[in-house]
Copies of this chain bind each other. A is one copy, B any other.
Amino acid sequence: MEIKEIQGGVCAPKGFKANGIHCGIRKNKAKRDFALIVSEVRAAAAGVYTSNLVKGAPVVVTKNNLTDGYAQAIICNSGNANTCNADGLEVANEMCRLVTEVGGIPASDVVVASTGVIGQKLDITPMRQHIGELWLGLGDAGEFAAEAIMTTDTVKKSVAVEFMLGGKICRIGAIAKGVGMVCPNMATNLIFITSDVAITSEMLQTALSEDVKTSFNMVSVDGDQSTNDTCCILANGLAGNQLISGKGSAFKSFCAALNYCTVKLSKMIAKDGEGATKLIECRVVGADRKCTAKAVAKSVIKSSLVKAAMFGEDANWGRVLCAIGYAGVKIDVNAVDVSFSSKSGEICVCKGGYGVDFSEEEAKTVLSQDEVTILINLNTGSSSATAWGCDLTYDYVKINGDYRT
């Protein structure tokens, strides 16, 4: 099946409109902070959420609203996570009702999300004052929505693809935010996906739950798992394909197109990690089991020492071995090979658990690129996994040393 990237983000699928404006939650008036995505018809909906026991109020409300498997709109603010607030649920529910007031969409068909500082009250007033403006501006403005959900993100994260199902053109669009507090366990930060595919709520949930295992759940920026992780998908059926209600070939095609979008966003999230100067990909092959490959890939991508070495463009592979060793899974240390690669080439630094001679200069050239792969062969099987992260830099410390003020 051919998957073709197209323009339009979340507005690429038929029947979806979006908008993003500045309503005043953030002090910087140039920064949009209030987003809305709406489907012209009610859509099958599915979600995956943070497994942090401390959950943002919007996570609780969204989960509740999606129990029936349907939704029609997504409302989101940035600048405040609405988490650990006594009136959090009230405010999150009120955000849903704002959509009812301006658009007549039942509050129970609204996905609500918030992102920003934890533990500061979220005032509904600026949103109430600007919901009319937000609604009236709905159109082909997926980019505005992508911008409005950003916090310390430096780039907008948006993608859309087109593919065929039974002769019908289908589309998936998605936006994401997330640069810090990124170490998802169910999904990462905020991801909103739209599609015009006709699919049941059950199969949509199955597709999404499977998908995050190899996409967003394999991303780590700093090992801190957010309280507000929410990944939601709305599929409104307007593409006119035959309804996907089981695990046939149409379902597989849909999953492939979905994974194309989510992996692309995963890499964008990792590369835009707070303070990051480069995307680090850790690809583990030759594992005896999938879970071994995953655990090793995540352990390496999360190591502060590996991340700092990547920033310093230092081929300190001993730290990679070290992180493999404490991954908590059984591996044969004396079978492990490690290479670094980038568009400048590939260099093997460790064979069978021991160092090999290599040119430090050549290694520095490989590591100086803005996308670097750490390739690990466990040489004990045929399972593999890939995780994405970034380097650890002065700017990560700077950004997080005084985030609130």
A318 to B: closest C-beta gap in Å: 3
Give the complex CA separation of A67 and B398 in angstroms.
49
Given contacts A311-B397, A401-B311, contact A350 B52 (CB under 8 A): no
A339 to B: closest C-beta gap in Å: 14
Asked if B118 contacts A309 (CB within 8 A), the reply is: no
Give the complex CA separation of A141 and B72 in angstroms.
75
- A365-405 CB mask vs B (1 if < 8 Å, else 0) is 00000000000000000000000000011101111111111
Asked if A119 contacts B394 (CB within 8 A), the reply is: no
Give the complex CA separation of A85 and B318 in angstroms.
10
Given contacts A224-B319, A398-B394, contact A326 B83 (CB under 8 A): no
- Residues in chain B near residue A225, CB distance under 8 A: 322, 325-326
Given contacts A53-B331, A54-B324, A227-B321, contact A312 B400 (CB under 8 A): yes
Give A181's nearest chain B residue, CB to CB: B305
Asked if B180 contacts A305 (CB within 8 A), the reply is: yes
Kindly identify which residue among B81, B86, B121, B401 contacts A318, using a CB–CB cutoff of 8 Å: B81
Q: Does A308 make an interface contact (CB < 8 A)?
A: yes
We find that the number of chain A residues with CB closer than 8 angstroms to chain B is: 65
Q: Does A253 make an interface contact (CB < 8 A)?
A: no
> So how many copies of this chain end up in the complex?
2
Asked if B397 contacts A308 (CB within 8 A), the reply is: yes
- Residues in chain B near residue A117, CB distance under 8 A: 316, 318
Q: Does A153 make an interface contact (CB < 8 A)?
A: no
- Residues in chain B near residue A224, CB distance under 8 A: 303-305, 319, 322-323, 326
- Residues in chain B near residue A223, CB distance under 8 A: 223, 302-304
Asked if A355 contacts B304 (CB within 8 A), the reply is: no
Q: Does A211 make an interface contact (CB < 8 A)?
A: no
Q: Does A226 make an interface contact (CB < 8 A)?
A: yes
Kindly identify which residue among B85, B333, B403 contacts A53, using a CB–CB cutoff of 8 Å: B333
Asked if A326 contacts B118 (CB within 8 A), the reply is: no
Q: Does A120 make an interface contact (CB < 8 A)?
A: yes
Asked if A119 contacts B84 (CB within 8 A), the reply is: no
Given contacts A226-B322, A314-B405, A402-B314, contact A119 B355 (CB under 8 A): yes
Q: Does A78 make an interface contact (CB < 8 A)?
A: no
A9 to B: closest C-beta gap in Å: 29
Q: Does A353 make an interface contact (CB < 8 A)?
A: yes
Given contacts A181-B322, A317-B119, A325-B53, contact A84 B304 (CB under 8 A): no
Q: Does A185 make an interface contact (CB < 8 A)?
A: yes
Give the complex CA separation of A353 and B81 in angstroms.
15
Give the complex CA separation of A183 and B323 in angstroms.
11
Give the complex CA separation of A399 and B55 in angstroms.
36
Asked if A355 contacts B120 (CB within 8 A), the reply is: yes
Residue in A181, A322, A394, A403 whose Cβ sees the most chain B Cβ within 10 Å? A322
Residue in A223, A226, A304, A360 whose Cβ sees the most chain B Cβ within 10 Å? A304
Besides A224-B322, A309-B402, A392-B397, 13 other A-B contacts (C-beta < 8 A): A52-B326, A85-B355, A118-B316, A119-B350, A120-B355, A121-B355, A181-B305, A227-B322, A309-B401, A312-B400, A314-B402, A314-B403, A314-B404
